[in-house]
Amino acid sequence: MKPYLVKTPKFVQRLFPKRTWVFPYHENKVYLTFDDGPIPQVTPWVLDLLKEYNAKATFFCIGDNINKHLNVFKRIISEGHSFGNHTYHHLNAWKTKTEDYITNCKMFDDALKQFHNDTSKSVNHKSIITNLFRPPFGKLTSMQSNILQKKGYKIIMWDVLSADFDAQISKEKCLENVLKNIQVGSIVVFHDSLKSEEKLRYVLPKVLDFIRNQKWKCAKIKAY
């Protein structure tokens, strides 16, 4: 059995009601999300494709990658997408002391300050803030979750996992994971990472075609 679920069951969502798993079904929107970037090898291609389909998305970024690739992150902001905190070093919460984990999340905010200092006035700096948070690997202890929520973070999970990170499945299976489970209100997880690149380049255009044919709108998750 794979150590993850492609479709998050309702009972799991009910176990953690303060976390966001889906959005209202009546709004005719779906929410594509991309974890682990930004990186120059993959993220610009994702942004180009989203622009081609007039689609918006949410990028859960690693703080260290923001510092390394400020220009790529700038594109995410300037092209109207939203972003969230994915910790600074992509930590596994279950293997990290709570104090260290929260400190690492704060380091992400410090990376945003660096971005603010290093960018020109062409960027709307009011958009360089976020209270969106997604835990790497989807793992978070109750204590860590409570602390982050008290700090004002909205914890964004998902109801559809593409599994583009899984080397054991084919790109066709990855596509099936999404197309068989996506529905209005769904939050779908992809990864703009080198590990997922091959599957993502195959799957994402087809998913965007499917969404367009369904006459759904690809929307970003709004902070605050």
**Are the C-beta atoms of 68 and 222 separated by less than 8 Å?**
no
Active site residue 192: no
Structure tokens at 207: 């998913």
Question: Among 35, 159, 164, 166, which one carries the catalytic annotation?
Answer: 35
Residues with Cβ within 8 Å of 68's Cβ and at least 6 positions away in sequence, in order, are none
Rounded to whole angstroms, how far apart are CA atoms 164 and 203? Answer: 9
Q: Is there a contact between 50 and 81 (Cβ–Cβ < 8 Å)?
A: yes
Dist. CA 154–CA 20, nearest whole Å: 7
Active-site position among 81, 86, 191, 192: 191
35 is an active site residue: yes
Burial pattern 100-131, b for ≥16 Cβ within 10 A else e, equals ebbebbebbeebbeebeeebeeeeeeeebebe
> What token pair was written down for 48?
């180009």
- Closest to 85 measured CA to CA, from 106, 114, 113, 55: 106
Backbone phi and psi for residue 58, each to the nearest 5 degrees, phi listed first: -125, 130
Residue 127 token pair:
């958009």
Both tokens assigned to 176: 């099936």
Place of tokens 């996506």: 182
Q: Catalytic residues, which ones?
A: 35, 191
